[in-house]
Homo-oligomer: A and B are copies of this chain.
Amino acid sequence: MDLAAAVLEGDRLALARSLSQVENGTAQGKSVLSQLFPHTGNAHLVGITGASGTGKSSLVNQLARHCRRSAQQGVARSIAIVAVDPTSPFTGGAILGDRIRMRDLAGDSGVFIRSMASRGSLGGLASTTAAVVQVLDAAGYELILIETVGAGQSEIDIARLAHTTVVVEAPGLGDDIQAIKAGILEIADILVVNKADLPGVENTERALRGSLNLSHPTPRRVMHHGKLEVVEPQPELPADSSQVWSPPILRTVALDGTGVPDLAKAIADHRSYLESSGSWQQRERWRLEAELEQLLQNTLMDGLQSRLPAGAYKQAVEDLLQRRLSPYQAVEMLVDGAG
* Chain A residues proximal to chain B, CB less than 8 Å: 30, 33-35, 37-41, 120-124, 127, 152-154, 157, 174-175, 177-178, 180-183, 186, 207, 210-211, 214-215, 218-219, 221, 224-230, 284-285, 288-289, 291-292, 294-301, 303-305, 316-317, 320-321, 323-331, 334-335
Partner of A296, one of B35, B298, B304: B304
Is the Cβ of B226 less than 8 Å from the Cβ of A303? no
User: Can you show 8 pairs from A to B with CB atoms below 8 A apart?
Assistant: A34-B328, A121-B224, A122-B228, A181-B211, A181-B214, A182-B186, A288-B327, A296-B335
Q: How far is the CB of A306 from chain B (nearest CB, A)?
A: 12
A300 touches B298 (CB 8 A): no
Q: How many angstroms between the C-alpha atoms of A231 and B181 in the bound complex?
A: 18
Beyond A177-B210, A181-B180, A207-B177, is A296–B292 a contact (Cβ under 8 Å)?
Answer: no
Say yes or no: A301 contacts B228, CB within 8 Å.
Answer: no
Task: Name the 6 nearest CB pairs between A and B, nearest first.
Answer: A123-B227, A37-B326, A34-B326, A226-B297, A300-B300, A123-B228
Chain B residues within an 8 Å CB radius of A207: 177
Across-interface contacts of A215 in B (CB, < 8 A): 181
> When the two chains form the complex, which single residue of B186, B214, B219, B317 contacts A177, counting CB atoms closer than 8 Å?
B214
Which chain B positions have C-beta within 8 A of A124?
A: 227, 229
In the complex where A152-B219, A226-B301, A295-B331 touch, is A178 in contact with B326 (Cβ < 8 A)?
no
Contact assessment for B304 and A300 in the assembled complex, using a CB-CB cutoff below 8 Å: yes
Closest to A213 in B: B175
CB distance from A16 to the nearest CB of B (A): 21
Task: Flag if B300 contacts A210 (CB, 8 Å).
Answer: no
Q: Which residues of B contact A37 (CB under 8 A)?
A: 323, 325-327, 329
CA distance A332 to B186 in the complex (A): 35
Contacts A41-B323, A210-B175, A328-B295 given; indicate if A303 touches B225 (C-beta within 8 A). no
Determine the distance from Cα of A33 to Cα of B328 in the docked complex, in whole angstroms.
8
Task: Please name the residue on chain B nearest to A178 by beta carbon.
Answer: B214
Once A175-B210, A207-B177, A317-B288 are accepted as A-B contacts, the answer to whether A331 and B227 lie under 8 Å apart by CB is no
A116 to chain B, nearest CB (A): 16
